[in-house]
Chain A
């Protein structure tokens, strides 16, 4: 093997830096391995992991025979420790399924038994009174409910960012803008040669396919199993934190034959999500939102929470679930391509299951022959980023004394300081969306109307990037046309 290739040799390459890839990479970073994490977008978590419900599920939606149910419950239990280590926004606020009529009451009894069998700790059936006491924002028309106290909410991109950061601190190498487009294996050694569109190359003995919507295409590039991932679109509306409709628990309707119904989700940051729709589409890039469904979405949500109003909408977005035939996760050692682990079809409850998937894939790699030896200097914890919004004025005064940039409030809606934006840039987030997801700047009610120009100025100052390389989310998403 030529010498220059030594630098690009990895024991394991994880393809896809969404929540699944990031969880796997972080788990592997605890061992004495050289690990690469490659992502086709300009930043991590820019695919399915940035646009979803952000729910930590309670283990009563699917039968226990599914792999995903097992991983969902295991994953759920891992979040408290993960939060202590990684400090992402997470709240075990509980999930409440609201039954609005007698028929739905029967359905939640069924869900209750399934939850019990699956091992959803503390799950209970609630009378109308108890349901309303648990969630006063519910319509008085509610007749009963199912309560899963282990359910919760999370900021999904912040979770992924912290997983990746932890992985990087423990030696994992991240390749952004690396879209796997060609794979070679000459048989002379045990290495896959993986090329991106610019012909950048890395070599890897083991590979994990965590490419989400594109897992089918990646599998094909490796000459592995043939399967098809179908995008299923979910549209969401985000409501301002001033809304009267913010519940204290995640609220699920009871699904029926006609419709799955809309959820009302309180985010950890105090805003409210309404959605998602579910629509099979073809185009894996089609993240467009529509207007036609607006009324039905809000009608459905208002049935449960009457105070939900379109007047509080600050933005809408959509995400694509990577749906695989058979409806379960597909996490196995490839039978066709040696030393390849498939982690595909990971739609809901993928976010909840991700930590357990990391564990599961690590075990599969071991089974496939990868020697695992623990790193003596593994650091589980990442340093906390102080946030002005979460602090009282006296604490902010201390922060400003240490670093004046904490006193410069750049995003007024979400109260984000210049210091937090600089920190995001130093941690590798150089696009407007990347900085937005890391700091929340531009996520509030003005949607970047006031802070965008200032953030661009800070990016240019901190990175030396010229104006024409400032982008919304990498690639051709440039912000400016020319300079005066």
Chain B
């Protein structure tokens, strides 16, 4: 078994992993980047549509193009890249060292000893079992991301007559993709009263093709023995299915776009404390988990809707992991809590002496909202927001200046809320 030593080991070679690895490399640390597929890029490689990169590169790129920019940067670095390699186990050793086992057809089993680990494994799709759709179990039921891979990478079209459950962005993008490869999409069924994807995708992926969007509806049953033959669609009335208004839609394929969950099996195995609201690790102002030297960024930390935010967050994780390696720690941290109409905030701690960024996920759809930051009960910042909705994460910058007039203690708290105005 080959044994290696490194300053930092980054798990996952997608958008987050590459950004974190590049940052650590630029700070002069030795970095190993572990990727299970045979090339870097992660899920971006199957996202052939455009709309990526406006923040990072100031232009609109497709997923593969966005990935390629980062891959070029990685190539020019000293990062040791291990593709076709799966990290299966992390063990905690003495003096905060970590032992990582990596399985690979190319390299055999690798044993890495490292001072820091950056988790960047991304997320996975919720599936039929998670949302408990009743009915038969025929072929033709796929998560939207799997269908996207089948069409865009492998070149096989999973079906001809399609219904999509959930109006998440991958589902919407796949609606257009299926239309563009000659299939017919009969409708998108969304349990919420509002769409969960971006407005732009509703417009260009559904309206352009006259695809009906059934808000406040559920797929209540799947029919078909060997292959999907039809689904029952039921409207909700006061939040519960109104069976009397169920209608049947013939189709041979059901695509599910019903949410993403951070991939944290490895994190759980190491003993990382997870945030039940995000499904990702609880992290401090350094994006470090409760385990010394283990950091997290990107969709493994919380599910983002823009890859540009993933890159930015991972760059920060790389910076902080570098600072950690040099022995730096924040002197004092201020806790951040979600307030009114906010599902979660991330990270849950900030360093009051530096610039910080906080992501928050709204719980409401509104065009008249004021975002407020309160420090131990006193409002210290108020910002008008023209529009908020759950599918669009809000990023706020917190300047150290706002803490100037306050005496900070160990239990000082910031609460971030969204107040609806009349």
Interface residues of chain A, those whose CB is within 8 Å of chain B, are: 238, 242, 285-291, 294, 310, 313-317, 388, 393-394, 396-397, 400-401, 404-409, 412-413, 415, 417-418, 445-450, 452-453, 456-457, 467, 471-473, 475-484
Q: Do A316 and B154 contact each other (CB < 8 Å), given the known contacts A396-B109, A481-B160?
A: no
Q: Are A447 and B128 in contact (CB under 8 A)?
A: yes
B158 to chain A: closest CB distance in Å?
6
**Is A316 a contact partner of B132 (Cβ separation < 8 A)?**
yes
Which residues of A sit under 8 angstroms from B89, Cβ to Cβ? 393
Q: Which residue of B lies closest to A292 (CB)?
A: B134
A483 with B36: CB separation less than 8 A: no
B134-173 contacts to A (CB < 8 Å): 134-139, 142-143, 145-146, 149-151, 153-160
Query: Does A396 lie within 8 Å of B103, measured CB to CB?
Result: yes
CB-based contact B125/A477 at 8 Å:
no
> CB distance B227 to A477 under 8 Å?
yes
Indicate whether B277 reaches chain A with its CB closer than 8 angstroms.
no
Hey, which chain A residues are within 8 Å of B181, CB to CB? 484
One of B103, B130, B220, B268 near A407 (C-beta < 8 A): B103
Q: How many residues of B contact A (CB 8 A)?
A: 55
B67-110: contact bitstring with A at CB < 8 Å (1 yes, 0 no)?
00000000000000000101011000000000001011111110
B134 touches A446 (CB 8 A): no
B135 near A316: Cβ-Cβ < 8 Å: no
- Does A447 contact B138, Cβ atoms closer than 8 Å? no
Query: Shortest distance in angstroms between B141's beta carbon and chain A's nearest beta carbon?
Result: 9
- Looking across the interface, which residue of chain B has its beta carbon closest to that of A409? B86
Taking the closest CB of chain B, its distance from the CB of A41, in whole angstroms, is 11
Query: Is A407 within 8 A of B137, CB to CB?
Result: no
A-B contact pairs, 24 of them (CB 8 A): A242-B265, A285-B225, A289-B135, A313-B130, A316-B129, A316-B132, A393-B89, A393-B103, A400-B103, A405-B105, A406-B105, A407-B103, A407-B105, A408-B103, A413-B265, A415-B88, A418-B105, A447-B128, A453-B153, A467-B156, A477-B138, A481-B252, A483-B156, A484-B151
Chain B residues with CB under 8 A of A294: 132
Does B385 belong to the interface (CB within 8 Å)? no
**Which residue from B84, B101, B129, B226 sits with its C-beta under 8 Å from A393?**
B101
**Chain B residues near A481 (CB, 8 Å)?**
157-160, 183, 252-253
Contact of A409 among B103, B127, B226 (CB under 8 A): B103
| Nearest CB on B from A433, distance (A) | 9
Smallest Cβ distance from B155 to chain A, in angstroms?
A: 4
Most buried by A among B129, B155, B221, B268: B129
> Closest A-chain residue to B218, C-beta based?
A291
Give the complex CA separation of A473 and B136 in angstroms.
Answer: 14
- Minimum Cβ distance to chain A for residue B63 (Å): 17
Q: Give the most central of A317, A388, A393, A415: most B CB within 10 Å.
A: A393
Number of residue pairs A-B, CB distance < 8 angstroms: 151
Residue of B nearest to A452 (CB): B146
Query: What is the CA–CA distance of A285 and B132 in the complex, to the nearest angstrom?
Result: 20
CB distance from A288 to the nearest CB of B (A): 5
B14 CB to closest chain A CB, in angstroms? 13
Give the docked Cα–Cα distance between A52 and B181 (Å).
40
Return the contact of A404 from the options B86, B105, B137, B153 (Cβ within 8 A): B105
Report how far A480 CA is from B104 CA in the complex, Å: 30
- What 9 A-B pairs are tightest by C-beta distance, nearest first? A315-B129, A472-B139, A476-B226, A397-B109, A407-B105, A477-B139, A409-B86, A477-B226, A408-B105
Chain A positions within 8 Å of B128 at CB level: 315, 447
Q: List B contacts of A242 (CB < 8 A).
A: 265, 268
Per-residue A-contact encoding for B190-231, CB less than 8 Å = 1, 0 else = 000000000000000000000000000000111001110000
A478 x B139 contact (CB < 8 A): yes
User: B129 and A313: CB pair below 8 A?
Assistant: yes
Q: Which residues of A contact B343 (CB under 8 A)?
A: none
B132 touches A478 (CB 8 A): no
Known contacts A401-B108, A407-B109, A483-B155, then 15 further A-B pairs from the complex at CB < 8 Å, ordered by chain A residue = A294-B132, A313-B132, A394-B1, A394-B109, A407-B104, A407-B106, A407-B108, A408-B103, A409-B103, A445-B265, A448-B146, A472-B139, A476-B226, A480-B156, A481-B252
Are B134 and A291 in contact (CB-based, < 8 A)? Answer: yes
Q: Which one of B86, B108, B156, B253 contacts A412 once the chains associate, using CB atoms below 8 Å? A: B86
Chain B residues contacting A314 (CB-CB under 8 Å) are 127, 129-130
Contact A457 B154 (CB under 8 A): yes
Selected from B143, B145, B155, B253, the residue in CB contact (under 8 A) with A484 is B155
- For B150, the closest partner residue in chain A by CB is A453
- Collect the chain A residues with CB atoms within 8 Å of residue B186's CB: none
- With contacts A287-B136, A287-B137, A481-B252 taken as known, whether A476 is within 8 angstroms of B227 at the C-beta atoms is yes
**A474 to B: closest C-beta gap in Å:** 8
Q: Is the CB of A397 within 8 A of B105?
A: no
Provide the residues of chain A in CB contact with B134, threshold 8 Å.
288-291
Give the distance in Å from the alpha carbon of A457 to the alpha carbon of B38 in the complex: 14
**A449 adjacent to B108 (CB under 8 Å):** no
Contacts A316-B129, A448-B146, A453-B153 given: A388-B103 contact, CB under 8 Å? yes
**In the bound complex, CA of A349 to CA of B171 (Å):** 44
Q: Determine the residue in chain A with the shortest Cβ distance to B121.
A: A412
In Å, the complex CA distance between A482 and B146 comes to: 16
Q: How far is the CB of A23 from chain B (nearest CB, A)?
A: 26
What residues of chain A lie closer than 8 Å to B160, measured between beta carbons? 481-482
CB-defined contacts of A401 to chain B, threshold 8 Å: 108
Contact of B129 among A447, A450, A476 (CB under 8 A): A447
Knowing A393-B89, A407-B103 are in contact, say whether A449-B124 is a contact too (CB < 8 A): yes
CB distance from A459 to the nearest CB of B (A): 12
B137 in complex: contacting residue of A317, A412, A453, A467, CB < 8 Å: A317
Task: Name the contact of B145 in the complex, choosing from A393, A417, A449 (C-beta under 8 A).
Answer: A449
**CA gap between A472 and B159 in the complex, in Å:** 14
